[in-house]
Amino acid sequence: MANRFREQLDSGKIIVFDGGTGTMLFDRGVFINRCFDQLNLSEPDLVRSVHREFAAAGAMALETNTFGANRFKLASFDLGGRVAEVNRRGAELAREAGGADVLVVGSMGPLGVRIEPWGPTSLDEARAAFREQIEALVAGGIDAVILETFTDLDEIW
Judge whether residue 2 has pLDDT over 70.
no
Residue 141 lies in a domain: yes
Residue 46 lies in a domain: yes
Residue 132 pLDDT class (50, 70, 90 cuts): very high
Burial of 107 (0-12, 13-18, 19+ CB in 10 A): buried
The count of other CB atoms within 10 Å of the CB of residue 77 is: 15
Could you tell me the CATH number of the domain that includes residue 14?
3.20.20.330
DSSP E strand boundaries for 41-109: 61-63, 103-108
Give the whole-angstrom CA distance, residue 117 versus residue 96: 42
Give the whole-angstrom CA distance, residue 50 versus residue 150: 24
Specify the number of domains making up the chain.
1
Residue 110 belongs to domain spanning: 2-27+35-148
Residue 157 lies in a domain: no
| Segment 36-94, tens digit of pLDDT | 999 999 999 999 999 999 999 999 999 999 999 999 999 999 999 999 999 999 999 99
Residue 153 lies in a domain: no
Residue 13 lies in a domain: yes
Can you tell me whether residue 36 is helix, strand or coil? helix
